[in-house]
Amino acid sequence: MSRLILEPTPQAQWQALVHEAQAACHRHLDESLESYLVFLLMRFADRPYCTARIMAEDYLKSQALHGQQLAGQLREVGDHCLLFSGLFPQLAERRLVPVSYFVNIGRSSYQQLSTVLDRGWCSVYSHLSETFVVLMDILHAMRGLAGETVLTPIQAMDLWQDTGSRRCYEQMCADGRFSPSPASTDKH
């Protein structure tokens, strides 16, 4: 049974939840990634309609844009893909695509964004691209804190094979019936 987290501000609430999820999945984010994730969660907490978007279409549309419009669209795509893959992986099943679809588009968006921004922000988005799977794992752990099963065993296996997700590996091995090679975890 999970405990209720009470903090004085929404930011502190999200930060406490992110800390608890990091501890639950034995991962640690640096300050910049943790801050980005907290503010991402705050920004989208009141936008339930965001799940109706088609990421590949949004990504393709961004390619015709320039400057700030391009940067804004790429950030939106990367952020949505992170939320979808981490908090709403059941969307992939309903759309008949693997969860790694969101991972690949999100990582590509953040990576491309890192090439179009000035030096101050390019390293942040490059880091987001590189650690996308870790962030997804933390979001899975966040959902798991409420006692929810985030992925089916088949989804976990597919996502582990496609991305090297440590959390998916641990989920597959939890019941003792499956023992893939641990050397292939965390390839991303």
List the domain range (segments joined by +) for residue 64. Answer: 10-149
Residue 164 lies in a domain: no
Residue 41 lies in a domain: yes
Q: For residues 17-32, give the mean pLDDT.
A: 93
Residue 156 lies in a domain: no
Among 97, 99, 98, 132, smallest CA distance to 113 is for 132
Number of domains in the chain: 1
For 165: left if phi > 0, alpha if psi spans -120 to 50, otherwise beta; the answer is beta
pLDDT at position 5 over 90: no
Question: Which pair of tokens denotes residue 2?
Answer: 């999970």
Residue 4 lies in a domain: no
**C-beta separation of 53 from 80 below 8 A:** yes
More confident residue, 176 or 117: 117
pLDDT at position 4 over 50: yes
pLDDT of 95-121, one tens digit each? 888 999 999 999 999 999 999 887 778
Helix (H) or strand (E) holding 140: helix 132-145
pLDDT of 40-89, one tens digit each? 999 887 766 555 566 666 666 776 667 788 888 899 999 999 999 999 88
**Rounded-to-integer distance, Cα 3 and Cα 60, Å:** 42
Among 143, 53, 34, smallest CA distance to 102 is for 53
More confident residue, 184 or 100: 100
Query: What crossing angle do the helices spanning 132-145 and 166-173 adopt, rounded to 10°?
Result: 50
More confident residue, 188 or 106: 106
| Other CB atoms within 10 Å distance of the CB of residue 104 | 19
Look at residue 188 in the predicted model and tell me its pLDDT: 47
Amino acid at 64: A
Residue 88 lies in a domain: yes
In this prediction the pTM is 0.85
**Rounded-to-integer distance, Cα 42 and Cα 21, Å:** 16
Residue 188 lies in a domain: no
Residue 74 lies in a domain: yes
Look at residue 1 in the predicted model and tell me its pLDDT: 45
Residue 93 lies in a domain: yes
Among 1, 45, 37, smallest CA distance to 140 is for 37
pLDDT at position 23 over 80: yes
pLDDT at position 30 over 80: yes
